[in-house]
Structure 1
């Protein structure tokens, strides 16, 4: 029995999570049973408990085999000191999710590469940080500061994972940094080069972050595994949503050293469309594809769900954000898209 905790979160989170719930219920016909527990994170947790992540939710996660997350955040909590996103950052820190794997895959364009993002260090966690006031030219002036920090152990862990992923694919690794300016990137490149000595059969290439933003859109076919820092990985993977058609198309898995995992789409909570039943559930459904392969170790079910999603898209069915990327586009709601995928998933072929 697999214990899965689901954290729908805020905004469109509950709507997209609903679509994977349909697939999970359908697993009964394959004699696969998953014990599902629901809990709160983000803004809805602030509303209920005054904090974005409770100890109860953390303990439920500790007693689970994997976590599935919708998304967090929204306009409602912008003026709060405690932001919904702090719950997600705390969750990553609590379970030491040091790596985030984001597949950038579009079968319609033959695009297939992975962004490996360091997830537990860098500027999102560095201290000191804050907003303060000082006197400049006799004028009281607000200023803010964040600190980018990496140590060699953090870089070694993500580097080893990057090289190992490369060995199982095309044996090409591209490291993206800003080592001509940033000290953290200088250390990053030095450690990556050192670890490369143990993976001599993998071809290593370094690219600066500014140039990579051009190459990823101009010539995405040259990439296979991309490894980069927390901040750069966050930005680049969102940029690469243009290659797949929509930010709603990107799945992800976060890992720690104990093979415990967190699954989530790469997009945000999209509060402007929440409750309208028009959100794109593909990134969430594809995250479930990864869950089936990584946690259930069941490639048959994983492939069956992937081809059910692909078939739905190939027939032209899509939510509003996919309008300009699908041939013979047929507009469907979030629920209708999930129903179509589930229909194809249940068909024996």
Structure 2
């Protein structure tokens, strides 16, 4: 019997994770659930965004279902105590190095995309982003030059094993889809990117069924807008992936429709909607629960091996959208609960 840790967090996090739990319970999969505080809610209760008791619950769980963290009330705290540090702490604690972000346009939402409908309806990709290296985690600092000018520096670095392990995730993902992998880098100017490209080419020898291509990140950003339907799986580093995945989310319509997974080597994963905590609508029943519900489907597929149940959730969400169910972000008027009810009715 699998244990799911529900880390609802702040803002709309508790609302959307509650609906995701309802969907999971309706499938009658024998799952058990345990809730723990995280983010600003945890800081208020325990003085830290990721207290030991939350880590203990997360450590016992087979998978983590995460809501959202963040609130302007905590913006003046020192960085280590801000709600957003909780997600970084969880990634580090459980070795979650691979971020999977599917981006697809659901039938009926063509007008929600920032692209023309004839272009947008072709979007169906997964961005595989490395999470624990790159410039975000390299040495950094600020100082003063000999001329008295302020300066800052951040080190971009990867070692070959860090690249190889995320490359394997990318190739494995491509094997489950259309067997096309695009590795995105900036190898024409960055030594880190040249190492990235070299290692990806080496790993590709173990996946002869997958067609590998390479693209510079600036060209990829342009192509995401020009012809997003050309992409199947995009593999890239932490910095480039952070930017490209947000761009892809807006090409695919509302951010309220997009799930994500952070995976480690053991099978444990953290699953969350990519939207934020939206404190301006928290507690009003306006939030779109689809991304959280789709994240729960990713959890079933990647951490629990329940692919058929995951497919049922995906199909129910697609059916609800196709039949006109809409929350406010999609141009409709359904509440958070009513949107989830529409999905439950199609399970």
Contact 2:267 2:303 in 1 (8 A): no
- Higher deviation after alignment, 220-229 or 75-84: 75-84
Q: Distance in 1 between matches of 2:218 and 2:174?
A: 23
| Residues 169-318 of structure 1 mapped to structure 2, 5 A cutoff | 169-318=177-326
Matched, 1:118 2:130: yes
- Residues 105-149 of structure 1 deviation map (CA, whole Å, 9 limit, x = unaligned): 22422432111011111122222x34x45377557x4x5443322
What RMSD over aligned residues (CA atoms) do the two structures have, in Å? 1.9
Scaled by the length of structure 2, the TM-score of the pair is 0.90
SS at match of 1:101: strand
Q: Normalized against structure 1, the TM-score is what?
A: 0.89
Deviation at 1:271, TM superposition (A): 2.3
SS state at 1:344 partner: coil
Residue in structure 2 matched with residue 20 of structure 1 by the alignment: 20
Deviation of 1:292 (Å): 2.5
Which shows bigger deviation, 73-82 or 91-100? 73-82
Residue of structure 1 equivalent to 2:101:
102
Q: How does 1:314-329 map to 2 (within 5 A)?
A: 314-323=322-331
Question: Structure 2: how far apart are the matches of 1:341 and 1:104?
Answer: 19
After TM superposition, the structure 1 = structure 2 runs for residues 21-40 of structure 1, keeping only pairs within 5 Å, are 21-27=21-27, 30=28, 32-40=29-37
Could you say which structure has the greater relative contact order, defined with CA pairs below 8 angstroms and 6 or more residues apart? 2
Matched with 2:157 is 149
3-state secondary structure, aligned to 2:128: strand
Give distance in 2, aligned partners of 1:78 and 1:237.
25
Instruction: Say how many residue pairs are matched.
Output: 332
> Whole-Å Cα distance in 1 between the matches of residues 168 and 158 of structure 2?
16
Q: Aligned equivalents of 1:269 and 1:181: distance in 2?
A: 37
Query: 1:231 Cα shift?
Result: 1.7
- Cα deviation, 1:58-108, whole Å, max 9, x if unaligned, reads 121111111110111121111111221111111101111111111112242
Deviations 1:189-227 (A, max 9, x none): 111122223323322111111111111121111111110
Question: How far did residue 188 of structure 1 move?
Answer: 0.9
The correspondence for 1:52, drawn from 23, 35, 49, is 49
Distance 1:134 1:198, change over 3 A: same
Structure 2 distance, partners of 1:41, 1:148, is 30
Moved over 4 A (4+): 135-139
Q: C-alpha distance in 2, partners of 1:308/1:83? A: 36
Displacement of 1:296: 3.8
Task: Give the Cα separation in 2 of the matches to 1:169 and 1:276.
Answer: 38
Give SS of 1:317's match: coil
Q: CA deviation at 1:167?
A: 2.6
Cα distance, 1:273 vs. partner? 2.5
- Where does the alignment leave 5 or more consecutive residues of structure 2 unmatched? 108-120
2: CA distance, partners of 1:156 / 1:299: 26
